[in-house]
Structure 1
Amino acid sequence: MIKLMRIDYRLIHGQVAMAWTSAIGANCLLVANDAVSKDSMRITTLKLARPAGCKLVIKSVEDSITALNSGVTDPYNLFIIVESVEDAYRLAKGYRNIRSINFGGAKPQKDCTRKLSVTTPVSERDMQLLKELVNEGIEIEIRQVPGDEKINVSKLL
């Protein structure tokens, strides 16, 4: 069961490893990103950042979609973490049971045309993808930590 899907370019860090994982009761982290799944240094770093007692799976976006659709992830309280709006979009399009996305942070971009919040700079392309997901009924909210008030992205687009 998917407990949360989060866009956060830092992937696993303090907020994710401590605050979010315990708040949502996750016992498995799925990092879905094409580049990370092929980068042994980043994989090693993420393994070190993994919270104790929590399984960590790192897959490409396409392999993540396949795993989710196959049902192999169903027994887990799953926390999916993606690096970008593009990754979130691809995952949500490929696995139709994603109904909400937490937008925690985006990498500063050269082509940033807007900041939805201090931590969420977006490009024109990101805006288009977010709008499409919102129009399909997917809730996208900005929150750094579980105790923060939700900011609904649909009101910011």
Structure 2
Amino acid sequence: MTTPNIVWTRIDERLLHGQIRITWGKHSGANLILVANDDAADGPNAAFMQAGMKASAGGEYAVRFFSIQKTIDVISKASPQQKIFVLCNNPTDVARLVEGGVPITHCNVGNMHYHEGKRQINKTVSVDDKDINAFERMVAKGVTCTIQNTPDQKPINVLELATSAV
């Protein structure tokens, strides 16, 4: 077992799309995008979701679709040559990965859209108590969680923003 070469972890409600490939993929130096999401891996619309995301990757990256549990179970078997970009669509899934032993040290938050029951804390990020709890769990495990929509923007601490917006 080796420590996987995780080069970036991002929360984006849209999962894999053009901005990930063009902006964050290049910025991170990744050669593999791991979509860690139960629905994209095994859900009833998984084949449809995967086809769209593979097209968004543009052939520039290897793409894998694993459930949260499978990611926890197999990521330590990754080749050292794999530069892994972990992509989730919510903070609870990232917290589950961290608590399951996936060595994530930083979580970049991109797009978490406004939905009923959430409050907007940033132009592109809205949270509820469940999201804040997940970020708190990650921070307690030593993970830095920052909002940064594009690499040229200054990172903003999620919890500082979320707690000041109460």
1:79 aligns with 2:79: no
1:1-157 matched pairs, under 5 angstroms: 1-38=5-42, 39-69=46-76, 71-112=77-118, 114-156=119-161, 157=163
Q: Distance in 2 between matches of 1:107 and 1:65?
A: 26
* Residues 153 and 50 of structure 1: CA distance in aligned 2, closer, same or farther (over 3 Å): same
Task: Letter of the 1:105 partner, please give it.
Answer: N
TM-score by length of 1: 0.92
CA contact (8 A) 1:111 1:123 kept: yes
TM-score by length of 2: 0.87
Q: Which runs of no fewer than 5 residues in structure 2 stay unpaired?
A: none
Q: Which runs of no fewer than 5 residues in structure 1 stay unpaired?
A: none
Q: Distance in 2 between matches of 1:54 and 1:141?
A: 24
CA contact (8 A) 2:75 2:102 kept: no
Shift of 1:73: 4.7
Q: How many residues align?
A: 155
Q: Distance in 2 between matches of 1:73 and 1:7?
A: 23
Q: Distance in 2 between matches of 1:3 and 1:34?
A: 22
Q: Distance in 2 between matches of 1:53 and 1:119?
A: 26
Q: Aligned with 2:122: secondary structure?
A: coil
CA contact (8 A) 1:99 1:138 kept: yes
Query: Alignment identity in percent?
Result: 26
Q: Which moved more, 1:115-124 or 1:22-31?
A: 115-124
CA contact (8 A) 1:29 1:55 kept: yes
